[in-house]
Amino acid sequence: MRFSPTFLDDIRDRVPISNVIARRVGWDKRKTNVSRGDYWACCPFHGEKSPSFHCEDRKGRYHCFGCGVTGDHFRFLTELEGLSFPEAVQTIADMAGVPMPVADPQMEKREKERTSLLDVMEMATQFFQDQLQTANGARARAYLRDRGLTGRTIETFRLGFAPDSRNALKEFLAGKGVSKEQIEACGLVVHENVPVSYDRFRDRIMFPILSSREKVIAFGGRAMSPDAPAKYLNSNETELFHKGNVLYNFTRARRAMQGANGEGTIIAVEGYMDVIALHQAGIENAVAPLGTALTENQLDLLWKMTSQPVLCFDGDGAGIRAANRAADLALPHLKPGRSVRFALLPDGKDPDDLVKHEGRAPFDKVMAQAKPLSEMLWDREARNGKFDTPEARAELEARLRQLVAVIADENVRRHYQQDMRDKLNSFFQPQFQNRGGERRNFGGSTGGGNFRGQKGGAPAGPRTPVAASDRLTRSGLVRGHQDNTALRECVLALTVVNHPALMLDDYDEIAAIDYDNRDLQKLWSAMLGAAAVVAGPHLTRDYLLECLDVAGFGSLLKNLDQQVRNARLWTATEQAAMEDAREGYRQALAFHKRAKDLRWQKIELERDIAQATEAGDDAEIDRLMRASQEVHFEALRLENQEAIIDGFGVLSGRVKGAASH
């Protein structure tokens, strides 16, 4: 069976080549950089003791610097595992979760038609290039010359000119034997709702748009007349072209970045001329969306080339708004080692303006000042606001929390939450005045002195780590399961055992509860296993207790019951009304999740403080100490909130079957 290039490209793009090769090799931990998709191993094609076999996910290729073998996904499987090409395609398709194409005469016919459409687009490109060199194209040539483009650049990007005629291209293609249906299918003419079709592009400088296989699939046209309804006009959607899935200059930029030995990045600018001007200035790794805001698919294309593309926008109001839209677009899709940076040009300037007179140096300076996504979000939300009241500060905090909550990856989301907390702490930090009249930030040092009262550059002496108070140390939050079983975890487990109807509404959440106590982990596994074998109405407390007693958890359940009764947490007991039990369970689960989050933050901060101390980075140690204090105070606040709720089930006194008031 013959596979279409489109299908092969699709499954190859969906599966990182490292996943294919990892089935046969073990990666060298010292040389491999997972976040960059850069892997090294001992070559599976020849015996060796040091890793000279290299594969790179962004390129989708492997190469051994020892024996010289090179190839892609399919070649690896055919040459190393001895699979036939169809078997290799089947393997990659299975890994990608894509069904194999069924032999279909209609599909084969469509693929042939697609190939013929590419031939038509190539004819149209050549026509536009030729027209640029005629007398009709003189004005267009002068415009390009005024924009500073050389003949070599014009040839590299295959720029052309569409004459001011309704039929010039249509008649040219018809004379080459191209059918009316093919011309229409390429989007080269307007044919809907008109009696006679006419050329879509007229009196415009033409920019061919290439696919990842470097075939012309569409055009962008820049109007020569100032009275034209649209300054830029793109091809309409066709069999070949889907605007939201394509980046202008994609293949050339990817090749330039790969030539930078993996150290380069990709820069996304706003327009065709920006890309071309940068290329002429020696910056060849730039791409552009096609006249619209960046789409998710285009962002994914950027991430396939580099882990941290730079999004470059004009510094005017429209550019700032576009940058903010891109920030919101990227936020949910962040992963470890995958983010974006933002470069904002001086107001009123575009990349073409920066490089035209002084070369690439001014643009390189803008790139060096590119901001990470977290800074972009903070600037947007905090820089121009007025936060002189507690309500305004609370509103800012709530907005930031809501923004960060959309990040799907749990680890990245946690680090963003910490970063925003650090920024808020620094932003709202109270000031005090020392005896010398000098103002200081509470908890840190600035300028010529520090909080310890030392002035000049005198060393501050050894730092004492922030210690938890006796009250916090005694609390269940820090103590966790070092005593018996943390009271909060007792409440969670016993409430569900005594009120199994909770599982009918919240089974997924209940199944995902992560206990610190090992005995409760085992109890939970046994309880979920027992619950899985009966239907809803038959899932009763008596049934669960019987199953758990047989499994050897009887004494543990008695111990849990005694602990919650001693603490007067009646919502966890059998006698509590369902409404109280549900409310108590939700409160306990919320505290449980927050406490775990704080513990993780505490562990990470301790590790970071140790690393900063080793590096002698005083500024970083100060920052981390302040963050540690914030975690400490947050833990106290959580404990206080939990203490207020202790025993709240006594207030209602409701029992099963009692009326709600």
Q: List, in order of start, the domains of the chain with CATH numbers.
A: 5-96 (3.90.580.10), 105-241 (3.90.980.10), 250-380 (3.40.1360.10), 473-652 (1.10.860)
Q: What is the pLDDT of residue 637?
A: 66
Query: Distance between CA atoms of 477 and 479, rounded to whole angstroms?
Result: 6
Query: Distance between CA atoms of 589 and 596, rounded to whole angstroms?
Result: 11
| CA dist 56 → 6, 15, 47, 68, 547 (Å) | 22, 12, 21, 16, 52
Chain centroid to Cα 410, Å, comes to 12
- Could you tell me the two tokens for 556? 């543990």
Residue 450 has pLDDT above 60, yes or no: no
- Which regions of 189-297 does DSSP assign to beta strands (E)? 189-190, 198-199, 204-210, 216-223, 232-234, 267-268, 286-287
Per-residue pLDDT, averaged over 582-598, amounts to 80
Per-residue pLDDT, averaged over 468-483, amounts to 40
Give which of 403, 383, 399, 379 is closest to 391, Cα–Cα.
399
The amino acid present at 646, given as its one-letter code, is D
Q: What is the pLDDT of residue 593?
A: 79
Q: What is the pLDDT of residue 639?
A: 61
Q: What is the pLDDT of residues 276-302, one digit of tens each?
A: 999 999 999 999 998 778 999 899 889
- Could you tell me the two tokens for 238? 């066709």
In order, the DSSP letters of 156-186 are HTT-EEE-S-SSHHHHHHHHTT--HHHHHHT
Q: What is the pLDDT of residue 511?
A: 78
Residues of the chain with pLDDT > 70, as a percent, come to 83
The amino acid present at 39, given as its one-letter code, is Y
Q: What is the pLDDT of residues 599-619, one digit of tens each?
A: 777 777 777 788 778 778 888
Query: Distance between CA atoms of 634 and 626, rounded to whole angstroms?
Result: 12
Residue 650 has pLDDT above 50, yes or no: no
Q: What is the pLDDT of residue 248?
A: 95
Sequence-separated (6 or more) residues with CB below 8 Å from residue 242: none
Query: Distance between CA atoms of 492 and 588, rounded to whole angstroms?
Result: 6
Neighbours of 375 (CB within 10 A): 14
Query: Distance between CA atoms of 308 and 304, rounded to whole angstroms?
Result: 10
Q: What is the pLDDT of residue 93?
A: 92
Which residues share a beta bridge with 233?
A: 221
Of 149-153, 311-315, 556-560, 636-640, least confident by mean pLDDT is: 636-640
Burial of residue 270 (CB within 10 Å: 0-12, 13-18, 19+) is buried
Residue 501 has pLDDT above 70, yes or no: yes
- Could you tell me the two tokens for 519? 């005995």
Per-residue pLDDT, averaged over 208-214, amounts to 89
Q: What is the pLDDT of residue 106?
A: 63
- Residue located via tokens 């209609």: 106
Q: What is the pLDDT of residue 218?
A: 95
Find the angle CA(247)-CA(253)-CA(254) to the nearest 5 degrees: 95
Q: What is the pLDDT of residues 343-396, one digit of tens each?
A: 999 877 888 888 887 788 899 999 999 999 999 999 999 877 788 888 888 899
Query: Distance between CA atoms of 281 and 326, rounded to whole angstroms?
Result: 26
Chain centroid to Cα 510, Å, comes to 28
In order, the DSSP letters of 558-614 are HHHHHHHHHTT-GGGSTTB-HHHHHHHHHHHHHHHHHHHHHHHHHHHHHHHHHHHHH
For helices 390-404 and 410-427, give the axis angle rounded to 10 degrees: 160
The amino acid present at 133, given as its one-letter code, is Q
Residue 129 has pLDDT above 90, yes or no: yes
For helices 518-531 and 502-511, give the axis angle rounded to 10 degrees: 130
Query: Distance between CA atoms of 633 and 636, rounded to whole angstroms?
Result: 5
Q: How many CA atoms lie within 13 A of 288 on its CB side?
A: 20
Residue 451 has pLDDT above 80, yes or no: no
Give which of 503, 477, 505, 471 is closest to 489, Cα–Cα.
477
- Residue located via tokens 């002698």: 616
Q: Which pLDDT band holds residue 646 (cuts at 50, 70, 90)?
A: very low
Q: What is the pLDDT of residue 448?
A: 35
Q: What is the pLDDT of residues 29-56, one digit of tens each?
A: 888 988 778 899 999 888 778 899 999 9
Residue 540 has pLDDT above 90, yes or no: no
Q: What is the pLDDT of the chain when averaged over all its residues?
A: 81
Residue that wins the pLDDT comparison between 238 and 451: 238
Sequence-separated (6 or more) residues with CB below 8 Å from residue 643: none
Q: What is the pLDDT of residue 484?
A: 38
Residue 513 has pLDDT above 70, yes or no: yes
Query: Distance between CA atoms of 406 and 413, rounded to whole angstroms?
Result: 8
Q: What is the pLDDT of residue 590?
A: 80
Neighbours of 638 (CB within 10 A): 19
Residues 15, 35: contact at Cβ < 8 Å? no
Q: What is the pLDDT of residues 389-401, one digit of tens each?
A: 888 888 998 999 9
Q: Which pLDDT band holds residue 642 (cuts at 50, 70, 90)?
A: low
Q: What is the pLDDT of residue 585?
A: 84
Residues 303, 338: contact at Cβ < 8 Å? yes
Of 240-249, 325-334, 433-442, least confident by mean pLDDT is: 433-442
Residue 204 has pLDDT above 90, yes or no: yes
Of 324-333, 447-456, 485-494, 499-508, least confident by mean pLDDT is: 447-456
Dihedral sign, CA of 475, 476, 477, 483? positive
In order, the DSSP letters of 40-66 are EE--SSS--SS--EEEETTTTEEEETT
Q: Which pLDDT band holds residue 632 (cuts at 50, 70, 90)?
A: confident
Radius of gyration for the alpha carbons in the chain, expressed in angstroms and rounded: 32
- Residue located via tokens 């009887």: 554
Q: What is the pLDDT of residue 432?
A: 38
Residue that wins the pLDDT comparison between 74 and 35: 74
- Could you tell me the two tokens for 143? 């415009």
Residues 577, 658: contact at Cβ < 8 Å? yes
Q: What is the pLDDT of residues 402-423, one digit of tens each?
A: 999 999 999 899 999 999 988 8
Chain centroid to Cα 476, Å, comes to 36
**pTM for the whole thing?**
0.56
Give which of 355, 352, 335 is closest to 415, Cα–Cα.
335
| CA dist 205 → 146, 208, 234, 384 (Å) | 14, 10, 12, 41
Q: What is the pLDDT of residue 416?
A: 93
Q: What is the pLDDT of residues 560-588, one digit of tens each?
A: 888 888 877 888 888 888 888 888 888 88
Q: Which of 3-17, 90-104, 155-169 has the highest mean pLDDT?
A: 155-169
Query: Distance between CA atoms of 313 and 305, rounded to whole angstroms?
Result: 20
Residues 432, 445: contact at Cβ < 8 Å? no
Residue 446, φ and ψ in degrees, nearest 5: -140, 160
Query: Distance between CA atoms of 570 and 442, rounded to whole angstroms?
Result: 43
